[in-house]
Chain A
Amino acid sequence: MTEQLFSQYQDFERTDGKSLIGPEGFERLSTDLGYDMSQVEPLVLMWKLGCTEMGTVPYENWSQSLTSMRVGSLDQLRKEIDSEIDRLKSDKKEYQQFYRKMFDYLKTGKQKVISVDDILPVIKGADNALFDKFVAFLDANSERIKTINRDQWQSLLELSRTMGDSLADYSKEDAWPALFDDFAEWEHSQK
């Protein structure tokens, strides 16, 4: 069953055992599952399927993930993903793992940074007041700030968990990336 499903979406038949589902196939899969490519569901799907890059699932990962999720059909897969999305809303640790993995998906190739444009849709959908402020900050400084690196990305989550909705308690003397100093200054000036 797993194989069958796989072959529906895989890139093309390979004999060296390195078959994979590529971005195109992945998009089809997502649509078949009823997901909108511009929303967060496909990202969760990628994560649960063990994608190595954006929209790419090697066969091994596919079969391992489906087995461990005990999923044999598209319906089951969708149910599993939906419940995962629910879980992410409450399980902080789970969410942190997912969040961190997103960096790998959002970045292209060998680059160590993601462009701000690519991040915006993702954080906008995260339903987080501080993220929203951060989006506005990036918008206001789009001339100067074009990319985010992994440390800044990971720290952003920490920041929202420590500071809550506002940066009133932020201190430059703390161990945040320098970018956040600018963010805090901007946020304070917005009052």
Chain B
Amino acid sequence: EWTKYGDSAKITHNIFAYLNRHWIQREQDEGSNVCDVSTLMYQLWRDQFFMSIRNTLLDSVFSLMTRIRNGQVADINLVKSVADSFVSLGNDDSGIASKRMEVYEKYFLEPFIKSSVEYYREEADRLLQEGSIIDYIVRVSSRLQEEDDRVELYLHESSLKDFKDALNKVLVTRQKDKFYSEFEPLLDARDSLNLKRLYSLVARTGKGSALDPLRDIFSAYVKKAGLDAIKQVSGSEETGGAIAKEARLFVTAVLGVHDLFAGLLHDAFEEDTGFSKSLDNACKDFINTNAMCPEGEARAPQMLAHYCDTLLKKGSGNVRKAGAEGASDEDSLEAQLSQAVCVFRYIKAVDVFQKFYSQHLSRRLVYEQSVSSYGEEMMISKLKEISGVDFTSKLTRMFTDMTLSKEMSEEFKEKCRDGDFAIPFDFDMKVLHTVSWPLKAPDTKLLLPSELSSVCSRFTNYYQNKHNGRKLNWMWQHSKAEIKMFFPKATGPAAKAGYIFHVSTFQLAILMLFNDESGPGTGYDSPNGPTLTLEQISQATGLDNDMIKPELEIFCKARVLVSSNNKISGDSKFTLNANFKSKHLRINLAVSKKVEQKREATDTMRAVDVDRMYAIQAAIVRIMKTRKQLSHRQLVEDTISMIKLFQASIGDIKKGIDTLIDKEYLERSESNRDVYNYLA
């Protein structure tokens, strides 16, 4: 009916078009309250007819809606045309836009929303009574989806937001406490589908504060999961077990937890930034302090560095998981390194990681243990992305030294050839730039066997001629050698080819003494070469007993040497074991001792402490130089925020301030002892 009226209104309007155009236009320009024919007709409809029937009209609309919602067949277009008619009826003569919708909003939208809310309230209550909250979530999700899809079909576009808000309120907000309590069980079940539904539902009421309680629950949950996972793993390893194994267990556990929840973040929470932050905070918490990492000991960065070492070092037993088909060894190495870097992002004591990483790297380079130079470079570029250039430039320098050393080695050998000097053995050296390398100059002196010393001094001369003014320090404790030993009673292939021993320089010096041609002056008193006492060995090598004893232990254990009284003491006499036999033709005697490893770790941490002390003092000076005068609290605050590599403690900062007062960089202000002045 309405349509017909609308059409006829149009026609009438056109008939009177002439009138519209001229007279009415003129009147409107003059501001009098006259409107054009079409508008007049709508007004008539509204005033005469509409007002009386509107309630009945609405009722029939509502029952129509109910039918639609109940899934019954109904003509949704009718609803739309009714809505439109209401809109049209608002077209007032005054033409003010806001008033246009007045009729629609007051007489249609409000009741419409009200009845929809009623309908759904009933449904919600019923659902909650009959089923679980999960069922509720599923059903309501689909209901809301229906309405979303449909709403444009029957409401004017301006009303969409109000309508949706109202539905959200009745279906979601009312129940939010139940949702919050259902969240954790869903996490337990790793039910990403329902988590997604729950997330979407709550998100409808606003992505900010409505979701915050869930974010907090999530954060706490991840943290607990992380701590539990690590605790489990820590129990399975005996204390004092191999560090490498410990490190791998730790990192694997961490990654397990992280990846699981990162997956949920993707599948269920749509990479929501708030949830992402919650995940990051939780990881930061549980990774740095947990069952394997006591507070304040910075074990996490140590273990991570060690883990990276196992990935990049040859023969560390790193088993690479079979990657996807076609994934090369390099790809899977890259994947593992990326994972390690992912953990690195959460480490708080970054300086500890850097120190240990560079130590491990220096060892890998010096002993040529890198499993892949591509892998090393990859790792460095990944670290550079996160940490910036300061740290990685030192590492890069180490690589440069390696390349330069190779070139120098070639040049030196050529020079020797030219000078008719035959190097009696295969000689390779590496020259390291002190500043960039974390290795220290040796603190033990050593008397080299003459074959070695002549070559070494020749090289020293060569180098110092090449680079005037530089000083070369030989690092015996990091140098290794391979020697071939022919035992008098050897049989089989060993008799011809001899056994090859991989030894440290100190070991080399000791063993060479047993060479029958180079005994230390006592001549040789047996067919097995010289017999030597601890004292004699010490004299000949320049090493002291504490250095010699452990090596002799290794030799005796390996049955390379024999001790006259079966122990290592002042009156023991050592000889070569003529009956030495081994299945292997190559034997490694240069094993690093666990005691040494532990001592190195402690030394490194001590170095970290020293560095931190200087970093704190430097930061304080820099701040005070700019500010000239600062209160204690502000200085402490600024220092903490300036230092990015580690968390400076208030106690350490205080010590730094004390030292600087002592060194007269700062003074306490006379007028206010809470304030410091910078002393130029």
Contacts and interface: CB of A to CB of B under 8 A. Distances in A.
A181 B651 CA distance: 8
Contact of A112 (B636, B651, B655, B662): B662
Interface string A126-155: 000000000000000000000001010011
B668 interface: yes
Contact of B651 (A158, A174, A178): A178
Contacts of B668: 151, 154-155, 175
Contacts of B601: none
Contacts, number: 37
B363 interface: no
Interface string B660-680: 011000001000011110000
A186 to B, nearest CB: 15
B662 A151 contact: yes
Interface string B605-626: 0000000000000000000000
Overall SS of chain B's interface: helix
Size class of the A contact interface (CB-based, 8 Å): 10 to 19
Contact of B673 (A112, A155, A179): A155
A172 interface: yes
B654 interface: yes
A125 interface: no
Interface residues of B, number: 17
A151 B659 CA distance: 10
A173 interface: yes
B650 A151 contact: no
A34 interface: no
Interface in A156-181: 158, 172-179, 181
Interface string B624-666: 0000000111001000000000000011001101100110000
Contacts of B654: 172, 176-178, 181
B650 A174 contact: no
B421 to A, nearest CB: 55
Contacts of A155: 668, 673
Of A151, A158, A176, A178, most buried by chain B (CB within 10 Å of CB) is A178
B632 A175 contact: yes
Given A151-B668, A155-B673, A158-B673, A177 B650 contact: no
Given A151-B668, A181-B651, A181-B654, A174 B674 contact: yes
Interface in B521-557: none
Contacts of B650: 172-173
Contacts of A176: 654
A178 B631 CA distance: 16
B167 to A, nearest CB: 52
A178 B655 contact: yes
A178 B658 contact: yes
A175 B661 contact: no
Interface string B284-307: 000000000000000000000000
A178 B632 CA distance: 13
A121 B654 CA distance: 28
A154 B673 CA distance: 11
B661 to A, nearest CB: 5
Given A151-B658, A177-B654, 4 more contacts: A151-B662, A158-B673, A178-B651, A181-B654
Interface of B: 631-633, 636, 650-651, 654-655, 657-658, 661-662, 668, 673-676
27 contacts: A112-B662, A149-B662, A151-B662, A151-B668, A154-B668, A155-B668, A158-B673, A172-B650, A172-B654, A173-B636, A173-B650, A174-B632, A174-B674, A175-B631, A175-B657, A175-B668, A175-B673, A175-B674, A176-B654, A177-B654, A177-B658, A177-B661, A178-B651, A178-B654, A178-B655, A178-B658, A181-B654
